[in-house]
Structure 1
Amino acid sequence: MRLVQLTVPTGKRETILEALDEREIDYVLTDEDSNRDYTAVVYFPLPDPAVEPVLDELQSVGVDEDAYTVVVDAETVVSRRFEALREEYENGDVESDRISRQELQAEADDLTPTFGVYAIMTVISALVATAGLLLDSPAVVVGSMVIAPLIGPALGASVGTVIDDEELFKESVLYQILGVVLAIAAAAVFAFIVRTANVVPPGLEIDMVSEISERLTPDLLSLVIALGAGVAGIISIATGTSVALVGVMIAAALIPPAAAAGVALAWGQPSAAIGATALVLVNILSVNLAGLVTLWYAGYRPESLFSLGETEQRLRRRIVALGFIVLVFAVFLGAITYASYTTATFEQNANEEVEQVLAAEEFEQYQLLEFEVVMGDDYPFLGPERVIVTIGGPPDATAPELADVLHERINRHTDESVRIEIRYVTIIER
């Protein structure tokens, strides 16, 4: 429920009151004596879905944008006429649950802080995320998402497109670009300082840190996170519910991958940063794409009917462009996913081959102690480089032909030759 406070322009009192009476809207009228161009202030309660059509109608009869209009939450309204009004406008579909176009624009503006605050909070969240990644701490990484101010710009571009507010659109796009650049740069500088100051163990391999490695080689499931965040964010802001948790979800799609890209750059591995950077870009584009489609589906349109056709064309162009770019990135992520799948399949098959060989009668004196597949450094499409097989056996046991057998059997499952390294461990039983 909303309570609307509206200043009545000189000469428009009767017209406005007649419009409210026709819709059977209860109102309270007070005289205005501030010697301006307004004669009164009218107060009237409305159900959420009625705000936009009523304000549009009042604007059409003479209430321009210079008028003083305030829309605030109303906890309780006791009125038979209000209940009838609610039944008229609330029919249980998506459009009846959303806030007005005017409130949506105000919400989008409020969610975007000033650039100074936005830049500082983005840098802080990137630094915290970088520390969490290097510590391999999921809790710290989640904490970095909470303070990231990304939800406003991420959703503002979609709102600006749908309601034909190009200034909001351009500002949001600029904020998103600068946010990504700031996050990656801050993470790279901080990680470089940490590394050179030996705050982390010397020789730390970032691909051995699970919180980092999973973002250096992203897969197609990452798209689900970004698309879900975009839809959930728009639904939250459009229905006037809390967007705090959804903001964390959007930050989850952007801040940790940006920090991972910065860490890879600080470690002198630009190729390792490719996957994480691609993940950041595809996530931010997916959030915008999901936001555009969801807003249009929810029924948001420009204020002026004359700009509706132009806005629709612009919307289609942007959806097609975003969809195409997301598709290209999806193919890229799909290739990474396929490479990960083939590597996992190779590891499983290679392990089974080793077990079958050692189960043969001629090698039954040996037992498999450890099996490891060492990956190459061709990010983001990682593949097996060598296989380390640790075997235990009795003292003075030798089987030089075992290496040849394992090499031949394991390399059946890969297109490129993989080196086989066998380590013997003497086992003495007493």
Structure 2
Amino acid sequence: MENNLNQDNITPTEKDESGEDVKRDFKGLLSSTRRFLFELLEIRTNTDASATKESIIADIPFKGHTSWILICSIFIASIGLNANSTAVVIGAMLISPLMGPILGMGLSLAINDIDTLRRSLKNFAVMVVLSVITAFLFFYLFPLRDESSELLARTKPDIRDVLIAFFGGLALVIARAKKGTIASVIFGVAIATALMPPLCTVGFGLAIGKPWYAAGAMYLFTINTIFIGLATFLVIKFLRFPMVRYANSKKRRFIARVASIIGFAVMIPAGFTFYNVFQESLFKKQAQEFLNETIEVYQFNDSGRYVDNLTKIQYVDDGTSLIEVVCMGDELIPENVINTWRIQKNDYSRLKDVEFRILQGGRDDSQEKYNYISELYERNKADLLTKDEQIRLLEEEVSNLTKNVGKQIPFNNISSEARANYGNIASLGFSYQIRTDFNKIDTIPVFEVKWKDETRESQKKSDSERMLAWLKLRIQDSTLVVKEVD
């Protein structure tokens, strides 16, 4: 009651003053927040434009010491990629001088410096050619040329590579622009944007005669280059570096127009690349979700098995994309289940027009068994003299067939699977071989494999061992033998 009386005694003037105090406090809070955020994120006041420009221009040329540093770093990176060693690759990227011409291009476009742009482009071309030639010579002359995961990872860029290159470029230019450059940031960006491994992979693809590896790696290098240059251009513009002045105003306008056109021309493929890679990433995400909900949860009753590492998800922007899964074993997935999956596929917006294909390893070979018995009977019919002899021979052959029925092999399917799993295989043969230890006679399935001429002995041995283990599991026969033929 007393509180109510006190509130009733507050005059309108006092209420207005109280409201004004709240407004002043709120405005003060907003002002403090703005000031805090400004001090936290503002970078212009601590930027040394003159020193930044000089340092970037000084790193552009590739000659003398810089060229040899690049050659040595390319060799180190190539060895690391060949040995599948991430640590060695990181070490090579730390000493690599690849960033100079790329930053020079972004800087020159931002400040209308046509002479610096010309030098940057020339040294960039020298850098790329020298790097690719060095990597090519290493992989061409070095006897070990395994397709390691570190190498193959650089042949197919995705949306993450675009984002890494762009934000890495932002971090690098901001660090270079700060008074007292942050060296650790420069080293970190050199590792993150990974300019050197794609160039090494280009040389690797050319050395082993697989130009599609080289094309994929060069595409990744191009993405990194464009987005690092774009980040440099945007940061320099934001920091308001002074534009290069020309005595001739007509020439100044012309150069400014040329620089703007070049900058715009660079942004077009950058935007196009980002869009395409982003679309491919969304497609692959939906494709993987579809597989997770269908084939990966399907329960095989017998000897069937889904081979996820042979799954093929191929994105083509013209609508002819493909999802292809591989199953091994004699158990077939029913057609009605596959049709249900095809209907489920249409629930995903990016998979409606995609071709969905299932390759299955097993097939019913009853027709082959019938043909085998018929051929055997016809071949021995002329030698049969009596009815008893006919019955005895047929009983023997049926007995042999019964013993070997588990060893009947779907050779067409196995050869297709072998070709998909082993890229170095030239031909594959199969036969049964009768063996004895003079105590018993056994029939042994024998696969004869011929490797491509350029395959190294160590690779042949490794692939033969893997093939033997796979075939024993695939055919469920521990007596199986794999022989190499010339």
Deviation track 1:113-146 (CA, whole Å, cap 9, x = no partner) reads: 5423333222322222222222221111111111
Query: Kindly tell me: are residues 142 and 309 of structure 1, through their superposed partners in 2, closer, same or farther at Cα, counting changes over 3 Å?
Result: same
Corresponding residue SS for 1:216: coil
Structure 1 equivalent of residue 355 of structure 2: 415
Query: Kindly tell me: are residues 386 and 354 of structure 1, through their superposed partners in 2, closer, same or farther at Cα, counting changes over 3 Å?
Result: same
Structure 1 equivalent of residue 216 of structure 2: 275
Structure 2 equivalent of residue 393 of structure 1: none
Task: Give, in whole Å, the separation in 2 of the partners of 1:303 and 1:91.
Answer: 31
Task: Give, in whole Å, the separation in 2 of the partners of 1:268 and 1:159.
Answer: 38
Structure 2 equivalent of residue 374 of structure 1: 310
Query: Kindly tell me: are residues 340 and 379 of structure 1, through their superposed partners in 2, closer, same or farther at Cα, counting changes over 3 Å?
Result: closer
Task: Give, in whole Å, the separation in 2 of the partners of 1:385 and 1:128.
Answer: 38
Q: Is the 8 A contact 1:160 1:169 kept in 2?
A: yes
Which protein has the larger Cα radius of gyration, Structure 1 or Structure 2?
2
Task: Give, in whole Å, the separation in 2 of the partners of 1:212 and 1:172.
Answer: 28
- Structure 1's unaligned 5+ residue stretches are 1-89, 391-398
Query: Kindly tell me: are residues 289 and 121 of structure 1, through their superposed partners in 2, closer, same or farther at Cα, counting changes over 3 Å?
Result: same
Structure 2 equivalent of residue 154 of structure 1: 102
Structure 1 equivalent of residue 158 of structure 2: 219
Structure 2 equivalent of residue 297 of structure 1: 238
Matched AA of 1:257: P
Task: Give, in whole Å, the separation in 2 of the partners of 1:349 and 1:262.
Answer: 40
Structure 2 equivalent of residue 286 of structure 1: 227
Structure 1 equivalent of residue 5 of structure 2: none
State the TM-score, normalized to the length of structure 2: 0.55
Q: Is the 8 A contact 1:347 1:373 kept in 2?
A: no
Post-superposition shift, 1:288?
A: 1.1
- After the TM superposition, which residues 268-347 of structure 1 pair with which residues of structure 2 at under 5 Å, given as runs? 268-304=209-245, 312-334=256-278, 336-338=280-282, 340-341=284-285, 344-345=288-289, 347=291
Task: Give, in whole Å, the separation in 2 of the partners of 1:96 and 1:411.
Answer: 60
Query: Kindly tell me: are residues 290 and 129 of structure 1, through their superposed partners in 2, closer, same or farther at Cα, counting changes over 3 Å?
Result: same
Task: Give, in whole Å, the separation in 2 of the partners of 1:163 and 1:175.
Answer: 19
Task: Give, in whole Å, the separation in 1 of the partners of 2:72 and 2:322.
Answer: 35
Q: Is the 8 A contact 1:226 1:250 kept in 2?
A: no
Post-superposition shift, 1:302?
A: 2.0
Post-superposition shift, 1:192?
A: 2.2
Matched AA of 1:324: I
- After the TM superposition, which residues 61-140 of structure 1 pair with which residues of structure 2 at under 5 Å, given as runs? 93-101=42-50, 103-140=51-88
Matched AA of 2:177: A
Post-superposition shift, 1:348?
A: 2.7
Post-superposition shift, 1:227?
A: 1.1
Matched AA of 1:419: L
Task: Give, in whole Å, the separation in 2 of the partners of 1:114 and 1:309.
Answer: 30
Query: Kindly tell me: are residues 340 and 91 of structure 1, through their superposed partners in 2, closer, same or farther at Cα, counting changes over 3 Å?
Result: closer
Task: Give, in whole Å, the separation in 1 of the partners of 2:224 and 2:163.
Answer: 9
Deviation track 1:391-415 (CA, whole Å, cap 9, x = no partner) reads: xxxxxxxx76557677666777561
Task: Give, in whole Å, the separation in 2 of the partners of 1:182 and 1:253.
Answer: 17
Counterpart pick for 1:169 among 93, 109, 117: 117
Q: Is the 8 A contact 1:282 1:329 kept in 2?
A: yes
Counterpart pick for 2:131 among 162, 171, 183: 183
Q: Is the 8 A contact 1:403 1:420 kept in 2?
A: no
Deviation track 1:145-202 (CA, whole Å, cap 9, x = no partner) reads: 11110222221222233344322221112212221222223222212222xx2x25xx
Structure 2 equivalent of residue 258 of structure 1: 199
Matched AA of 1:179: M
Structure 2 equivalent of residue 242 of structure 1: 182
Greater RCO (CA < 8 Å, at least 6 residues apart): 1
Corresponding residue SS for 1:302: coil
Q: Is the 8 A contact 1:407 1:419 kept in 2?
A: no
Post-superposition shift, 1:314?
A: 4.1
State the TM-score, normalized to the length of structure 1: 0.62
Corresponding residue SS for 1:218: coil
Matched AA of 1:297: F
Structure 1 equivalent of residue 432 of structure 2: none
- Structure 2's unaligned 5+ residue stretches are 1-38, 346-353, 363-473, 479-486
Query: Identity over the aligned pairs, expressed in percent?
Result: 21
Matched AA of 2:132: I
Task: Give, in whole Å, the separation in 2 of the partners of 1:271 and 1:319.
Answer: 29
Q: Is the 8 A contact 1:282 1:326 kept in 2?
A: yes
- Is 1:389 aligned to residue 328 of structure 2? yes
Post-superposition shift, 1:280?
A: 0.6
Q: Is the 8 A contact 2:56 2:103 kept in 1?
A: yes
Post-superposition shift, 1:349?
A: 4.3
- After the TM superposition, which residues 6-85 of structure 1 pair with which residues of structure 2 at under 5 Å, given as runs? none
Q: Is the 8 A contact 2:311 2:325 kept in 1?
A: yes
Matched AA of 1:98: T
Corresponding residue SS for 1:299: coil
Post-superposition shift, 1:256?
A: 1.2
Deviation track 1:365-392 (CA, whole Å, cap 9, x = no partner) reads: x3766633425698999965551335xx
Corresponding residue SS for 2:327: strand
Structure 2 equivalent of residue 15 of structure 1: none
Task: Give, in whole Å, the separation in 1 of the partners of 2:296 and 2:326.
Answer: 13
Task: Give, in whole Å, the separation in 2 of the partners of 1:249 and 1:182.
Answer: 22
Corresponding residue SS for 1:296: helix
Task: Give, in whole Å, the separation in 1 of the partners of 2:88 and 2:185.
Answer: 16
Post-superposition shift, 1:263?
A: 1.9
Post-superposition shift, 1:295?
A: 0.3
Task: Give, in whole Å, the separation in 2 of the partners of 1:400 and 1:106.
Answer: 69
Matched AA of 1:94: I
Post-superposition shift, 1:327?
A: 1.9
Deviation track 1:273-327 (CA, whole Å, cap 9, x = no partner) reads: 3222111112111111111111011011225387675565444323311110212
